[in-house]
Amino acid sequence: MDWNTFWEGGKTLNTLEVFFRVTLLYLTIFTMTRILGHRQVGIVSAFNFITHAGMAHVATSRMVNPKSSLVVAIVIILISYGLTLFLSWIDYKFPKLVGNSPIHLMENGILLRKNLKKAYITIDDLLGQLRLKEANSLSNVSEVVLEPMGEISVIKKGNALQIMRGQLKMSSQPTGVSLLMIYEGHIIRQHIEAMNLDESWLIHEIEKKGFNIKNVMVATLEPSGNIHVSVM
């Protein structure tokens, strides 16, 4: 085996040189991952993900490319993981400086318009995420939080837990999805027409709750027939 070719690259690599290159790069990444601990394995932040994906590309491109330098690859990996370890330390000491903070999208059953815009989340996106969490009605939701990794956490109100109705032998509630009827003071006419309703009925229902349509941020028609309203 030509050690100069092994470390610095050459025109060709024999089977033994490829084997040792792959083994050495694999062990280098494995060792650095172990040093970083669970933060790197779990990929809990943007810079962790970038490092993990980038180093995988560096390693694979230099494992079998005979003209690439193995020394350079190892140096790149060590520096990148070292920077990640340093940023992880900063994130631990000063979380707001490097990582993202959770954003509350709903508190005490009230949608937070300012935070929705801050997170660039539309009401349709939010309703879709809630359906994935089996929260089909906004009135059943107490808290919604956008976590730092982009996941949405949903905390339902105590009386909305399905197990309660079954244990108490109560009649089941209608199932389905909530339909958006008003968004930022504008009536969604196609949804009203799809339900064979009219605007006067909707205006009357909103006024019965003590609101003016111009002040309504979101109003949804729930499967139970109830109108859930969040004001601006």
What domains are defined for the chain?
Answer: 3-97 (no CATH), 103-231 (3.30.240.20)
Angle at 175 between CA 169 and CA 178, to 5 degrees: 135
Q: Scanning the structure block, which residue is given the tokens 């009230």?
A: 110
Q: Scanning the structure block, which residue is given the tokens 């318009």?
A: 113
On whether the pTM is more than 0.75, the answer is no
Query: Given this model, what pLDDT does residue 183 score?
Result: 84
What is the Cα gyration radius of the chain?
27
Instruction: Report which secondary-structure segment, H or E, holds 96.
Output: helix 95-98
Query: Given this model, what pLDDT does residue 50 score?
Result: 67
Exposure of 70 by Cβ count < 10 A (0-12 exposed, 13-18 middle, 19+ buried)? buried
For residue 199, what are the CA distances in angstroms to 107, 187, 195? 29, 8, 11
pLDDT tens sequence across 126-184: 888 888 887 777 777 888 888 877 788 888 876 555 544 454 554 545 445 677 888 88
Structure tokens at 49: 């993900």
Give the chain's residues under pLDDT 70: 1-2, 5-6, 36-52, 62-64, 66, 95-100, 158-177
Query: Given this model, what pLDDT does residue 43 score?
Result: 42
Query: Given this model, what pLDDT does residue 42 score?
Result: 42
Q: How far apart are CA 90 and CA 73, in angstroms?
A: 26
Query: Given this model, what pLDDT does residue 40 score?
Result: 42
Q: How far apart are CA 181 and CA 168, in angstroms?
A: 33
Task: State the DSSP code for 106.
Answer: E
Query: Given this model, what pLDDT does residue 2 score?
Result: 67
